[in-house]
Amino acid sequence: MRIEKLNLLAYGKFTDHELTFPSGKHDFHVIVGPNEAGKSTVRRAITELLFGIERQSPLGFKHPQSDLRVSAVLEAASGKLTFVRTKQQKSLRSLIGEPLPDSYLDPALGSLTQEAFEQLHCLNHENLVKGGQGIVDPRNSVSQILFQAASGLDTFAAVREALSARAGELFANRGRSNEYIKAADRYAAAQKRLKDVQVRTREWVEARDELKSADQELDKERKNRAEVEQQRSAWERARRLAPLVERLGRLNDELAALGDTIAFPPSAKATLDSGISDMNAAAGIVQTRENDVQARLQELENIQVDEKVLERAADIERLGKLCGLYANHPRDLLLRRTEVKQWLDDLLARSLEFGWGTTEEEVRKLVPQHKVLRSIDALLKERGALVEGERGAQETVDQRQAGVDELQERLDATSDASVDPQLAQALSQALPYKNSESKLKNLLSAVSAAQAALTRALAALGLPDITEEFLRSMKLPSLERVSAFRANRQEIAGEEELARSRMEEAKETAGELELQVTQFERSHKVITAGEVSGARRERDDKWGAIKSGTLVLSEGAPQLDIAIRLADELVDARTLSETDSVTLQGLRDQLETASDAHRRHTKTFGDKEQELQEFDARWAEVIAQMGLDGMELDDMPEWLAKRETALAAAENHAGKKHEFEQERDSAVQTRNDLAAAMTAAGLPVSEASGLVALCMSADEHIKTIDRARGNRESVQQQLRDAQSSLRLAEQTKNARTTAVHGWNTKWQEALNNANLGSVTNDFAEVEAAIEAASFIRQRLEKIDTRRVERIVSMEADLELLKSAGLALAHALNSAMTESTPDELSRVLNTKLEEAKRQSNRKAQAQEFLDEAKRQLSEARSTLDQGKRRLEPLLRAAGVEDPMIALPLVEKAQKKVELEASIEQTIEALEKDSDGLTLEQVKAEVESHPATEAPGRLLAIKDCLEDSDRKLTQLVQGQVAAEQKFDAINGGDSAAVAEAQKQESLAEMSEAGEEYLQLATASSLLKWAVDKYRDRKQGPLLQRASVVFKNLTLGSFEKLRIDYDQSPPALLAYRSNGQQVTVSGLSDGTRDQLFLALRIAALELQTEQSAPVPFVADDLFINFDDKRSQAGLHALYELSTKTQVLFLSHQEHLLPVVERLFGGVNVIALDDEQVPA
């Protein structure tokens, strides 16, 4: 819709004021006027024109309320609408006042409401701002179109937050609580520990050297101390040993005084004393022992022993044992014999039944042997299976015979036909062509396509009626030759062009130089040598004329003066213009050179031009000979390529065609062959039958015969199998019958062997006989066992006992030969025990006697020993009586004691002499007089104390060095620290790797989502962004929604990327934003529905001039889509409008019509 005319018939201050809005490429109209000129009235009139006049209109100040009227001509899609809006009941009227229906304006308005019109289409500044606030409020449903790009990404914000949060845990630029930094701290700590505990080789070497030197110093001091210590020892030793040395001297003197003595052993005195006392005691003991021996001898003589009985003691004891063992034998023997008799009676009774004898001996002979019985039993067991086997085999033979008969019948009923091989071959050849129809179609269409391609390729050659043959027959230059031609021509053309440009260049240079010469000549008066010599010649002529008298002096003198001055002036001037003249000459020389060059290049150009023409003529001739008149040389390669294409297309066409024909002919041939073969095989063949039908028919025929044949072969095979089975069954049956016959023969033999020849085929009786024989055999075995094991052995035992008793009685001459062995045994045992008792007593008495004799011998020996012990002593002393030897022994003892004391003293000396010899000690005592010792020892003590102090220090030093050295003991502290370092490094790597992943992912996701939203933003926002950028002259780059806020908010982005919220914009920029949103909305609306005019009433009040111009531009652009009525009080904009968009419809309202 657009407004063509608006007439304010009676409205506000206006009366019949018509505004016309002619249409054009830009439907842009400016209504300008100062305040109170009626601009707002016009805006209101447009609203009320379309939607009705308000009941209590504030505009009814000039015309009565009821008379308010506005008329208009609107252009709608359906045509023009002319009407008057009144305040009457039916407010829409025709121009002649007739009421119009309310729907009259529907074609123009559509679904447009007054509210929407006022908010979007008909704006003053106040509406612009108010409505704008509504649009950028996300809670407003109208604005949803702005915020539509958030869908589909709701869940991703959480993902990004999680990624970012985890990345923050792993690493943060600040603080030390993140995982990477913690690990890095641990790493640093381990590093420090490693440094602390690590022992470098140099440190070890130092520690070792330090220890070595401490050891050496300590050794030295110890040696020093040892020397002092030695001195101290010498003084102390001398003081200590002096008394012993003196005592030794005294003892030696005493020994010398004692003189010679007999050399008794040291124990001589003690030996002598104890010898005398021992001999006295031993003499008493010998007497006592002699008495004792006599008493024991008497005792032994009084004891008597029965030796005879003792000699047979073993036999007597054996007899007693046997009596005990065989005590029960007589009773037991009776019982066993009765038992055997009973068993014998039982078996005789059974043997009688089968005629095997009446006595034990007969029975033992006639009863069948075990072997015979087993064979009968085995035969009995075999019989059933043999008989049953024979019967079963006969049945099998009968069944198999029936089967063979049946199969023979079935075979006779089948036929024996076979497939005609010619037919089979024809069919197999025909089958590949079964689908030839569709293949032929494809081939045919390929032929057509190739034909079309050929035609196209020929047409592309651009020669009328050209044929393939002609094309082939053409004698054309090769591409190489054409290329050579072209290169040749290009060369000539290039040279021509070069000559031309040189010619023109030279011409230009010559022109320029010529101009320079002219200009130089014009601006510089150059005196030439010619002019000077001319002036001189003039002067000389005058002088000559005066001299010759041709010229009178009075007349000639002034002329000569002039000529002289002129010549002089010229000479002076020439001197002055020397430089100019040189310059000019130079220019002239250059000009001449340039002119020469121009001439030369002109000639070259002419030559080259001609050469080129000649070349072209030659080419035209060549090409005409080939029948390609007028073909340009440059077109030739392309034409040759096209020719190749055409020839290839022709070849392709021929190939396709040949393929098609071959396929078609082969198909016909195979069909005919198949038909002939079928006819020969007696199959019906129709002329009209196609290859497919024939193939199917032949195939069916062959399959039928194959099936029948297969069936017959199967029956034949079955019959062969059945016959073979029958033969096998018959063989089996014969074998079974032979086995039964064999059994019968064996059976009769076995019965005879068992003495049962009369029983024959009564199998029950045979079984009873086997059982009886078995019973008899068992009983006989039992009888034999009992006899051998019990009866015979007991009889033997009793016999042995009896003979033993008799033998004993005879041996001891006993009168008891008639007594039972039991009685004999009892008597002999009693005697034996008495004899043993007496024998024991005798042995004991003998022992006592032996002991008494031994003690007597000992006492005598003791007495002898005493005497022998004293014998050497007495011999040494030269006496026989021990009592006389006593004083001699005591003197000798005294000497021994003295020698011992000397020995002890020397020992004491040696013990305390610290290893010195006796002589050394004596010398030392002499050289270290006891009187000097105390003083010397005090001095030595001081020395030692000094040495001790020194040693303590050295030992401490040595211990410290040793500890230091020992501390380097191969411990693993450094290795452990290094391991911990690596562990921290691993943690750092892990945290770092994860951080890089997550931080990158988080950044990437944020960037991608922003980008996605940028792309997904609504068209409204997109368009508004562009308009807003233009309105703000590029200060703002774009508009975006920040979805990270809740609710989302509109943000404006400055060109430097800074974001500004709507409330943060300046008033002007905010107005520009709201206008941009409106313009964008209007543009979108006009794309989707019929356009509606846009009325802008002083919207630029907060715009500066430049932005106002930008605003005008925006509206002017909008006016290509919808009608724009721009109302403004800013008259200074008019020239701007004019300048910007010349020929715009400008309607000026003036304020004259304002009522007083």
Partner 1 sequence: MGFKFIHAADIHLDSPLRGLSAYEDAPAQQFRNASREALKELVTTAIEDKVSFVVIAGDLYDGDWRDYNTGIFFASQMGRLAKAGIRAFVLHGNHDAESEMTKKLALPDNVVVFSSRSPQVHRIDDLKVALHGQSFANRAVDDNLAASYKPMVKDHFNIGVLHTALEGYKAHPTYAPCTVDELYVKEYDYWALGHVHEFQQWDGPSTIVFPGNLQGRHVRETGRKGAVSVTVDDSGHAVVDRLYLNVLRWEVLKVDLSGSASLDDVARKVGRGLTSLLEAADVPRAVRVSLEGKTHLHGALFGNAAGVRAQVLAQAAMIDSERLWVEKVKVATTPLEGPQAAGDSNEALGELRAIFEEAKEDSEFLRHLEMELQPFLNKVADEVKDDVPRLDFARQKRFADIVQEVAPGLLAQLNSKAM
Interacting residues with partner 1 (CB under 8 A)? 151-153, 155-156, 158-159, 162-163, 166, 171, 173, 180-181, 184, 187, 197-205, 968-976, 978-990, 992-1001, 1003-1005, 1007-1009, 1011-1012, 1015-1016
The span from the CA of 247 to the CA of 256, in Å, is 15
Nearer to partner 1, 609 or 983 (CB): 983
Q: How far is the CB of 969 from partner 1 (least distance, A)?
A: 6
Residue with Cβ nearer partner 1 (182 or 841): 182
Residue 197 or residue 832: which is nearer to partner 1 going by CB? 197
- Residue number with CB closer to partner 1 (205 or 417): 205
- Which residue, among 1149, 1091, 1081, 1147, has the nearest Cα to 1119 in the 3D structure? 1091
Q: Can you tell me the distance from the alpha carbon of 525 to that of 541, in angstroms, rounded to the nearest whole number? A: 25
Where is 133: in which H helix or E strand?
helix 125-135
552/979 with CB nearer partner 1 = 979
* Residue 1098 · residue 32 · CB < 8 Å: no
Q: Looking at beta carbons only, is 43 or 981 nearer to partner 1?
A: 981
| Helix, strand, coil percentages, rounded to 5, for the chain | 75, 5, 20
Do residues 924 and 237 lie in contact, with contact meaning Cβ atoms separated by under 8 Å? Answer: yes
Q: How far is CA 318 from the centre of its chain?
A: 99
- Helix 179-197 / helix 154-170 crossing angle, nearest 10 deg: 20
Distance separating alpha carbons of residues 302 and 456, to the nearest angstrom? 174
Q: How far apart are CA 755 and CA 757, in angstroms?
A: 6
- The helix (run of H) or strand (run of E) holding residue 18 is strand 14-20
Which is closer to partner 1, CB of 106 or CB of 210? Answer: 210
For residue 143, give the DSSP letter: G
Three-state DSSP state, 806: helix
CB of 203 to partner 1, least distance (A): 7
Give the nearer residue to partner 1 in terms of CB position, either 156 or 848: 156
Residue 139 or 202 having the CB closest to partner 1: 202
For partner 1, the closer of residues 693 and 996 by Cβ is 996
As given in the structure block, the two tokens for residue 880 are: 């026989």
- Shortest Å distance, C-beta 1013 to partner 1: 10
Identity at 172, one-letter amino acid code: A
Closest CA to 230 of 935, 936, 926, 923: 936
Q: Mind spelling out the 3-state secondary structure of 961-987?
A: HHHHHHHCCCCCHHHHHHHHHHHHHHH
Taking the complex as a whole, how short is the minimal distance between the CB of residue 197 and partner 1, in angstroms? 8
**For residues 209 and 885, is the Cβ–Cβ distance under 8 A?**
no
876 within 8 A of 262, measured Cβ to Cβ: yes
Closest approach, Cβ 1020 to partner 1, in A, equals 20
Q: Is the dihedral of CA 543, 544, 549, 552 positive or negative?
A: negative
Is the CB of 450 or the CB of 998 nearer to partner 1? 998
Helix (H) or strand (E) holding 76: strand 69-76
Nearer to partner 1, 988 or 1082 (CB): 988
With H, G, I as helix, E, B as strand and everything else as coil, classify residue 73.
strand
- Torsion angle in degrees (nearest 10) through CA of 102, 106, 110, 115: -30
In angstroms, give the least distance from the CB of 137 to partner 1. 24
Residue with smaller CB distance to partner 1, 157 or 937: 157
CB of 1118 to partner 1, least distance (A): 32
- Shortest distance, position 1053 Cβ to partner 1, whole Å: 14
State the Cα–Cα distance between residues 103 and 109, nearest whole angstrom.
10
State the nearest-atom distance from the C-beta of 204 to partner 1, in Å: 4
Cβ 1134 to partner 1, closest distance in Å?
A: 45
Smallest gap from residue 166 Cβ to partner 1 (A)? 7
* Half-sphere exposure (Cβ direction) of 100: Cα atoms closer than 13 Å: 18
| Token pair listed for 925 | 């005592």
User: What is the four-CA torsion angle of 62, 64, 66, 69, rounded to 10 degrees?
Assistant: -30
CB 160, min distance to partner 1, A: 10
Residue 878 has which token pair?
A: 């030269």
Smallest distance, partner 1 to C-beta of residue 987, A:
4
Sign of CA dihedral 652, 655, 659, 665: positive
What 3-state class would DSSP assign to 1089?
coil
Closest distance to partner 1 from the beta carbon of 1093 (Å):
38
Q: Residue 761 or 982: which CB sits closer to partner 1?
A: 982
- Smallest separation (angstroms) from partner 1 to the CB of 990: 6
Our CB check for partner 1 shows the closer of 168 and 534 to be: 168
Q: Give the residue with the Cβ less far from partner 1, 471 or 985.
A: 985
Secondary structure of residue 332 in the 3-state scheme: helix
Q: How far apart are CA 222 and CA 951, in angstroms?
A: 7
CB-wise, 164 or 829, nearer to partner 1?
Answer: 164
**What DSSP element (H or E) covers 82?**
strand 79-85
Amino acid at 984: S
Provide the minimum distance between the beta carbon of 1124 and partner 1 in the complex, in angstroms, as a whole number. Answer: 37
Q: Provide φ and ψ at 128, rounded to 5°.
A: -60, -45
- Residue 20 forms beta bridges with which residues? 5
- The single-letter code of the amino acid at 597 is A
Distance of closest approach, residue 959 Cβ to partner 1, in angstroms: 20
d(CA 437, CA 420): 27
Smallest distance, Å, CB 135 to partner 1?
A: 25
* Distance, CA of 719 to chain centre: 70
Cβ closer to partner 1: 884 or 1008? 1008
Which amino acid appears at position 402 of this protein?
Answer: A
Q: Please name the amino acid found at residue 143.
A: S
